[in-house]
């Protein structure tokens, strides 16, 4: 992670920019605050850790918090895989049997049925293995799916092979026709089956027997999920702020990308453990303790812990930067003595440190609640056990790629892998950041998931730290850990670019709370402009906060995560174009249509307890409706695609495609004033669209709103 250390005297001018342990590319570090690799800060092996009472704390959600989402019920539930016993929509049992292909789930992914039907036809008509035939089914410009015949390397001319397949084709419940444009076979799906199977699957996996239940018996949406990762374990490390520092806006990317990835893996049936690896150890705590003795205010600490500690830290750094009569050096010396006391297990020193740590985490949890994000484990640098650190160092000292320099420092030479050299131990014998990372990784594998270890561990860290993560992974590989070997490595670095131009509308303050408050206030202003709708909102400020949060998250996740992007207030807060408020507006409108249809016309859609047969889906025949159904049928494919590249933008792009298509359908698929059965069928289409849009928002850690 490297970086140029700053002189203490320059600290005050940039102090508000310091916040992250796993630092995003938007920030700069001071040597006093840094826990980044490459900054040579002492981190002696600690002997007191086994007796500390805080190991791997699981902190409860903040309560009460004005931004807590606990009251939103199912609106806040991320996608949860449907039960293993789920047998698919009722209509599926009426359809012909299809061949089985590994990894294909016809119960949960409607389009898999049609792709299998195509594979079956290709296999039977051309003598091709059904697995190879299924792999060849792709999208094309003609029809719904296309198969490129040359892929099979069959003898004969492509046109003759295509005509042979076409001659053997018979329309069926899955496929309506085939067209030949050599060397391609173009297939058209049976619209009635597509519509009925897709809509039923969406419904039963969102509201019915295909939806898991929470402890209260409420359905948890599961359409779009699969069981691909069943039995596999993953740790996702993200956010990772420094204790006693306010959240910086630069936390945003690691936090929301990491939370999205956690939801994504859960949707694919992985067992997910979300780690917040805090910067909670180092000489900076000695400095903070010195400042606390001079400037501490217990009442302020209880009222606003993080900002109080931050103010103390700024003030003590001002003193520490004074060169006159060695005053600054005296402050630093006192800080070093205090930190030495922490390392030696001094009860008084550790008690104050523990107090600052706990109060900081309590505040962080409030911010995470506001962001609709929760962690399973709050760990940190202080949690790396002494014996694990010593074991890693001893193993490294004996490694053939490690050597001692003339100045006494120990280096790992990774130049043959084009990864440069990296210091793993200072000349005084103290380990560096990468060494603690190594010990922590081994510790996690041994202790996580009831001792079963992880199948994958993801670090969500800015692209500025690409070199450090590459060095870290390579050293683990060279140390011989089976789970770190290149061929089967379970370690993954998910990187991301910079946020450019992030400041409040009124100035240059960049604390995250300022950004979130401004988006909330702006959304509240917009909502108040419509007094009638405003009066119907149960908690306007909370709703405004959720819309503002949606705006921030969608702007961040709209493009490829590796790209830098400009933080644009006017665009982000707009209800027009591809923005977060636009997505929420569409979800609210879909809720409103269903609500008004029930209130005005007595149209009530089926619940989990009612028979789907009450809706005549044969009445859905409009091309626009067919387009909508085809798109929501693609939702499970989209979730799988996002798993391949770990891109939030894959989900965001899908959500915008869906909302654009919905917006184009209102005048073609009228509900009000239509014959009852037709109105009910169309309303059901819009309900399924709402369910899928809501699932996309949940996957992105966004609470779908019903009114705004």
DSSP 657-680: HHHHHHHTTTTTS--TTS-HHHHH
The SS3 of residue 505 is coil
- Which H/E stretch holds residue 517? helix 512-528
CA 485, 487, 491, 496 dihedral sign is positive
What pLDDT band is residue 349 in, cutting at 50, 70 and 90?
very high
600 exposure class (CB count in 10 Å sphere: 0-12, 13-18, 19+): exposed
Give the residue, 499 or 639, on which the prediction is more confident. 639
Residue tagged active-site, from 248, 374, 553, 646:
248
Active site residue 251: yes
* Token pair belonging to 550: 């949606």
Spot the catalytic one: 107, 245, 468, 690: 245
Q: Which member of 54, 107, 251, 690 is catalytic?
A: 251
Q: Rounded to whole angstroms, how far apart are CA atoms 427 and 423? A: 10
Q: Among the CATH numbers 1.20.120.160, 3.60.15.10, 3.30.1360.70, 4.10.640.10, which is that of 90-196?
A: 3.30.1360.70
Give the contacts of 283 (CB within 8 A, at least 6 positions apart).
32, 41, 42, 335, 336, 339
Extents of the domains making up the chain:
8-77+226-497, 90-196, 512-699
Which of 219, 211, 238, 226 lies closest to 264 in space, CA to CA? 226
For residues 485-503, average pLDDT: 87
Structural contact between residues 202 and 612, judged by C-beta atoms closer than 8 angstroms: no
Would you state the CATH architecture of domain 8-77+226-497?
Answer: 3-Layer(aba) Sandwich (3.40)
What's the pLDDT band for 346 if we cut at 50, 70, 90?
Answer: very high
Fold match, 90-196 / 512-699:
no
- What mean pLDDT do residues 383-388 have? 90
How high is the pLDDT of residue 322? 86
Q: Has 248 been annotated as catalytic?
A: yes
73: left (phi over 0), alpha (psi -120 to 50) or beta: left
Least trusted range by pLDDT, from 173-177, 411-415, 565-569? 565-569
pLDDT of residue 77: 55
For residue 294, the SS3 value is helix
CATH number for 512-699: choose from 3.40.50.300, 2.60.40.1170, 1.10.10.10, 1.10.730.10.
1.10.730.10
203 flagged as catalytic: no
Structure tokens at 105: 């789930």
What is the spatial distance between Cα 233 and Cα 165, in angstroms, rounded to a whole number?
44
- Write out pLDDT tens, residues 619-670: 999 999 999 999 999 999 999 999 999 999 999 999 999 999 999 999 999 9
Handedness of CA 210, 213, 217, 223 (dihedral sign): negative
598 and 697 Cβ atoms separated by less than 8 Å: no
Contact 562, 384 (CB under 8 A): no
Check whether 68 has a pLDDT greater than 70: no
pTM metric for this prediction = 0.87
C-alpha span between 2 and 351 (Å, rounded): 32
pLDDT of 571 strictly over 90: no
């Amino acid at each position: 992670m490297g970086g140029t250390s700053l002189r203490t005297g320059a600290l005050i001018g940039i102090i508000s920019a310091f916040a992250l342990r796993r630092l995003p590319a938007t920030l700069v570090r001071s040597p006093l605050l840094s826990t980044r690799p490459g900054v040579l800060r002492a981190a002696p092996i600690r002997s007191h850790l086994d007796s500390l009472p805080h190991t791997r704390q699981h902190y409860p959600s903040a309560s009460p918090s004005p931004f807590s989402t606990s009251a939103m019920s199912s609106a806040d539930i991320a996608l949860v895989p449907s039960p293993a016993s789920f047998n698919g929509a009722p209509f599926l049992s009426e359809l012909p049997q299809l061949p089985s292909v590994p990894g294909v789930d016809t119960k949960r992914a409607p389009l898999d049925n049609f792709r299998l039907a195509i594979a079956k036809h290709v296999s039977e008509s051309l003598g091709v293995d059904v697995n190879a035939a299924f792999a060849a089914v792709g999208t094309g410009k003609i029809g719904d799916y296309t198969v490129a015949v040359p892929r099979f390397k069959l003898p004969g001319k492509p046109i003759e092979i295509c005509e042979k397949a076409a001659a053997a084709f018979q329309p069926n419940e899955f496929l309506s026709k085939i067209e030949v444009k050599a060397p391609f076979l173009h297939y058209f799906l049976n619209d009635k089956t597509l519509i009925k199977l897709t809509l039923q699957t969406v419904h039963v996996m969102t509201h019915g027997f295909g939806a898991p239940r929470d402890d209260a018996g409420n359905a948890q949406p599961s359409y779009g999920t699969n069981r691909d990762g069943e039995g596999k374990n993953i740790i996702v490390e993200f956010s990772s702020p420094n204790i006693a520092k306010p959240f910086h806006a630069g936390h945003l990317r690691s936090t929301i990308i990491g939370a999205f990835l956690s939801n994504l893996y859960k949707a694919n049936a992985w067992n997910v453990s979300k780690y917040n690896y805090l910067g909670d150890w180092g000489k900076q705590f000695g400095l903070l303790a010195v400042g606390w003795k001079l400037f501490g205010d217990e009442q302020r600490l209880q009222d606003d812990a993080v900002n109080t500690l931050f103010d103390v830290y700024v003030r003590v750094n001002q003193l520490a930067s004074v060169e006159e009569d060695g005053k600054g050096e005296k402050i630093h010396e006192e800080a070093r003595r205090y930190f030495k006391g922490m390392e030696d297990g001094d009860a008084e020193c550790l008690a104050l440190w523990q107090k600052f740590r706990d109060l900081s985490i309590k505040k962080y949890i409030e911010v995470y609640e506001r962001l609709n994000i929760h962690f399973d484990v709050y760990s940190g640098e202080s949690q790396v056990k002494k014996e694990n650190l010593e074991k890693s160092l001893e193993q490294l000292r004996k490694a053939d790629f490690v050597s001692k320099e003339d100045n006494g420092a120990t280096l790992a030479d990774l130049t043959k892998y084009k990864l440069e050299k990296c210091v793993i131990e200072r000349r005084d014998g103290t380990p560096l950041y990468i060494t603690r990372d190594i010990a922590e990784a081994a510790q996690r594998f041994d202790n996580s998931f009831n001792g079963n270890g992880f199948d994958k561990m993801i670090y969500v860290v800015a692209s500025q730290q690409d070199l450090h993560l590459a060095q870290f992974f390579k050293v683990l590989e060279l140390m011989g850990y089976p789970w770190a070997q290149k061929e089967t490595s379970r370690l993954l670095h998910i990187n991301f670019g910079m946020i450019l131009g992030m400041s409040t509308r009124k100035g240059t303050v960049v604390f995250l709370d300022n950004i979130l408050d401004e988006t909330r206030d702006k959304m509240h202003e917009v909502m108040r402009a419509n007094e009638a709708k405003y009066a119907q909102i149960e908690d306007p400020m909370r709703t405004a906060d959720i819309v503002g949060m949606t705006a921030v998250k969608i702007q961040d996740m709209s493009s490829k995560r590796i790209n830098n992007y400009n933080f644009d207030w006017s665009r982000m807060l707009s209800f027009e174009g591809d923005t977060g408020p636009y997505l929420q507006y569409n979800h609210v409108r879909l809720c409103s249509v269903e609500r008004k249809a029930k209130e005005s016309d007595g149209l009530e859609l089926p619940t989990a307890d009612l028979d789907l047969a009450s809706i005549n889906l044969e009445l859905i025949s409009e091309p626009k409706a067919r387009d909508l159904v085809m798109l929501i049928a693609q939702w499970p494919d989209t979730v799988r695609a996002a798993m391949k590249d770990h891109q939030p933008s894959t989900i965001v792009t899908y959500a915008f495609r869906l909302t654009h298509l919905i917006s184009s359908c209102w005048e073609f698929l009228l509900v009000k004033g239509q014959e009852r059965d037709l109105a009910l069928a169309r309303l059901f289409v819009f309900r399924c669209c709402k369910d899928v849009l809501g699932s996309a928002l949940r996957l992105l850690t966004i609470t779908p709103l019903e009114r705004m």
